[in-house]
Structure 1
Amino acid sequence: MKFSMLSVAAAVVAVATAAPLTKRAADNNNVVGYWVPWGDVPVSALDMSKYTHINYGFGVLWKGAASPATITFDRYYDGDNMQALVTRGNAAGVPILMSIGGWTGSQTFSTVAASASLRKTFIDNALVFVRKNTAGDDAENPNGWNMDGIDIDWEYPGREGAVCNTYSPQDSANYLQLLKELRAQLDLEFPTKRKLITAAVRVQPFDDASGKPMSNVAAYVPYFDWISIMAYDIMGSWSATTGGNAPFNTPPSPGDPFSF
């Protein structure tokens, strides 16, 4: 998701806000909106009937945090919006998920996924978003946000994406392990109500250890409730040649594609 927008610690990248749609999808489809605090539509103005799910963007991983596994967001500014969105979502029957990562918010995903101890810390930090708050509505540091799941926007496993992001040939294998552990902990803490795991992914499959797109991603299927393919930012103002931002059919070259 390549845009130059500043937010918490200058580490967030913007996606489309939850803008109006003309029709809600059929029951077997999902219409997912991303709500971001710098957008033009306040939480109070959202038409919740247009969406099946809404992701709050973003909690970010950045190198300046106390730990690579720290999920950074503004508890005061974001917190009010998060609470308002969850309240509206609950009233409308629209699940709310926390999206973690983004174009420049994926700086330490690789580091976290490679370490058993950091994975554990990250998962505990992520689960704060889906736990119920028992510290009171006016608590300075709520211990839960009562969301319905976690959306992972790692850009990208096995490749750099933004120049600030760490990456490794082992990212995709480590990502799978992170997903296994996240799913296990969610199911352990919430045995009667499934908490969702979703992801924003690039057009091609995750890279394998050789740096090539994987030929088989079946191992990931049990851990995602669904994925959203970022079929945009294929070409843009940053590209060496002119091309469509979200073309129906195009090769990954010429130019400088970001979601391929």
Structure 2
Amino acid sequence: MRRLTVLLATLATVAALGAAAPAQGHNDRDKPRTVGYFTQWGIYGRQFYVKNLDTSGAAAKLTHLNYAFANIDEQGHCFEANAAGAGDAWADYQWPVPAELSVDGVGDAWGEPLNGNFGQLLKLKQKHPQLKVLLSIGGWTWSTYFSTAARPENRAAFVQSCLDVFIKGNLPNLDGGSGGPGSGLGVFDGIDLDWEWPNWEGEPGNVISPEDKANFTGLVAEFRKQLDALGRANHQRYELSAFLPANPAAMDAGFETKKVFKSLDFATVQGYDFHGTWESLTNQQSALREPAGAPVTPDFTLDRTVRSWLDRGAPRNKIVVGIPYFGRGWTGVTGGGDGLFQPAAGPAPATFEAGYEDYKVLKTLGYPVYRDLRAGHAWLFDGTTFWTYDDPFVVLQKSLFIRREGLGGAMMWSLDGDDANATLTKTIRFGLGG
């Protein structure tokens, strides 16, 4: 009975938010976007293929698909390679996808010009013509040489290299397999820049510089310039987006906000990893607002992240809010109660990485579900193990927040974390009004 009461209260809360949402009057380019990340490596352990986007119904609910990730070499160029930790051309465009895993039911033959994920993305776009596919560059692991690439003396050549390989589709022919001039033409409709982070420490070993802030502005302007020039020649408009941090200190260190947004079609902002198992207390990783009793205040929240970007001059309708399809978890939790803000022994066991688990797995655990309706977050706790995550009620609440605030849409990291029916993606699309 208590569970039913909580769920009804949740629905009443989000319904009230929806009723308060004004009509935004966006044109087609400014309608709320649904931007999902597809991970290159998801075809391995997770066995999540481009075909799953079609069969689950996710592709029909997306406006944009970001393919993660492309790497940057030490000289500051985009490239393709088959080298552990550096590139996976096999997954990208060499792998002969069998008929049973193919979007159109037709299998690839070895050595065709375009195989692998890229070939499947092209087939997916043919089936879902509303879908724009962007090539995402960098990410947490491959932002090492972004600083080098963005320098004034390097950036034009860097942008040219990325457009040559991924937009013009001049994929290198490696190992006598797929690729060749123009082999990837038509796969990508633009570029997503995922530099984590300009002038701010990301993964250990990243090149960083005080000049990164101005150089990022110059880099996005150079991408805009070259994409527009190519688009005029091809009678097509290519899109440009970027992934931006939740930390206000990183915002100020690395981004000239008003200048950057002039070159971007939209930006996705980090709405998760606010807390995790690098800390010894259980906590929320993606709350909409600050929970009562938060051990550190002011705390990272989705609402505060959005307002921080707005305060710095970001256009409201270009802010696309990040929503996690994964949870962060601790085990050995002591202190009793509902488990929130309690000491823990360490990361919870999980499928691929301790302390990190997909929504589709978390929904099957059978743990008691707890919610903070005002703060907009949920968690699982069985008395020992604690998971902070977003379920359909939370993502609906966030989607209605996006509508009410007139923001640019929602981004999902990452689509392979959803269940086989794309429940989270469909809920977000419904909440955004489509």
Query: Which TM-score bucket, shorter chain as reference?
Result: 0.7 to 0.9
Report the CA distance shift for 1:141/1:134 in structure 2 as closer, same or farther (over 3 A): closer
Shift of 1:220: 1.3
Shift of 1:183: 0.8
Query: In structure 1, how many angstroms separate the alpha carbons of the residues matched to 2:214 and 2:69?
Result: 24
- Per the normalisation by structure 2, the TM-score is 0.47
Q: Which amino acid aligns with 1:57?
A: A
Gaps of 5+ in 2: 1-25, 81-86, 94-115, 306-434
Q: What pairs up with 1:1-260 in 2 under 5 angstroms?
A: 28-39=31-42, 40=46, 41-47=48-54, 48-61=59-72, 65=73, 67-72=75-80, 73-79=87-93, 80-93=116-129, 94-116=131-153, 118-127=154-163, 128-132=165-169, 139-143=178-182, 144-146=184-186, 147-191=188-232, 192-204=235-247, 207=250, 212=253, 217-250=257-290
Report the CA distance shift for 1:134/1:176 in structure 2 as closer, same or farther (over 3 A): closer
Query: In structure 2, how many angstroms separate the alpha carbons of the residues matched to 1:239 and 1:45?
Result: 35
Give the secondary structure class of the aligned counterpart of 1:203. coil
* Greater RCO structure (CA 8 Å; 6+ sep): 2
- Per the normalisation by structure 1, the TM-score is 0.75
> Deviation digits for residues 172-204 of structure 1, max 9, x if unmatched?
110110111111111111113110101111124
The 8 Å contact of residues 106 and 165 in structure 1, kept in 2 or not, is answered as yes
Give the RMSD, CA atoms, in angstroms.
3.1
Query: In structure 1, how many angstroms separate the alpha carbons of the residues matched to 2:253 and 2:280?
Result: 23
Query: In structure 2, how many angstroms separate the alpha carbons of the residues matched to 1:145 and 1:67?
Result: 25
Query: In structure 2, how many angstroms separate the alpha carbons of the residues matched to 1:91 and 1:243?
Result: 42
Q: Which amino acid aligns with 1:131?
A: K
The 8 Å contact of residues 157 and 206 in structure 1, kept in 2 or not, is answered as no
Q: Hey, which of these two has a bigger chunk of helix by percent?
A: 2
Determine which structure has more spread, i.e. the larger CA radius of gyration.
Answer: 2
Query: In structure 2, how many angstroms separate the alpha carbons of the residues matched to 1:243 and 1:197?
Result: 34
The 8 Å contact of residues 75 and 149 in structure 2, kept in 1 or not, is answered as no
Give the secondary structure class of the aligned counterpart of 1:129. helix
The 8 Å contact of residues 198 and 226 in structure 1, kept in 2 or not, is answered as yes
> Deviation digits for residues 9-52 of structure 1, max 9, x if unmatched?
xxxxxxxxxxxxxxxxx961111111113323211121320211
Report the CA distance shift for 1:206/1:85 in structure 2 as closer, same or farther (over 3 A): farther
Report the CA distance shift for 1:132/1:106 in structure 2 as closer, same or farther (over 3 A): closer
The 8 Å contact of residues 172 and 206 in structure 1, kept in 2 or not, is answered as no
Query: In structure 2, how many angstroms separate the alpha carbons of the residues matched to 1:134 and 1:113?
Result: 23
Q: What is the count of residue pairs matched by the alignment? A: 225
Query: In structure 2, how many angstroms separate the alpha carbons of the residues matched to 1:160 and 1:83?
Result: 36
> Deviation digits for residues 61-105 of structure 1, max 9, x if unmatched?
3xxx46332344322321111121122123311111100011111
The 8 Å contact of residues 158 and 171 in structure 1, kept in 2 or not, is answered as yes
The 8 Å contact of residues 109 and 154 in structure 1, kept in 2 or not, is answered as yes
Query: In structure 2, how many angstroms separate the alpha carbons of the residues matched to 1:206 and 1:97?
Result: 28
Report the CA distance shift for 1:213/1:55 in structure 2 as closer, same or farther (over 3 A): closer
> Deviation digits for residues 89-137 of structure 1, max 9, x if unmatched?
2331111110001111100101111242x2122111211211256999x
Report the CA distance shift for 1:231/1:83 in structure 2 as closer, same or farther (over 3 A): same
Query: In structure 1, how many angstroms separate the alpha carbons of the residues matched to 2:199 and 2:147?
Result: 8
The 8 Å contact of residues 107 and 165 in structure 1, kept in 2 or not, is answered as yes
Gaps of 5+ in 1: 1-25
Give the secondary structure class of the aligned counterpart of 1:31. strand
Query: In structure 2, how many angstroms separate the alpha carbons of the residues matched to 1:85 and 1:206?
Result: 37
Query: In structure 1, how many angstroms separate the alpha carbons of the residues matched to 2:199 and 2:295?
Result: 17
> Deviation digits for residues 190-247 of structure 1, max 9, x if unmatched?
1131101011111245847xx6476x61111221111111110111111243321112
Report the CA distance shift for 1:85/1:207 in structure 2 as closer, same or farther (over 3 A): same
Q: Which amino acid aligns with 2:41?
A: W
Query: In structure 2, how many angstroms separate the alpha carbons of the residues matched to 1:149 and 1:213?
Result: 23
Give the % identical residues.
32
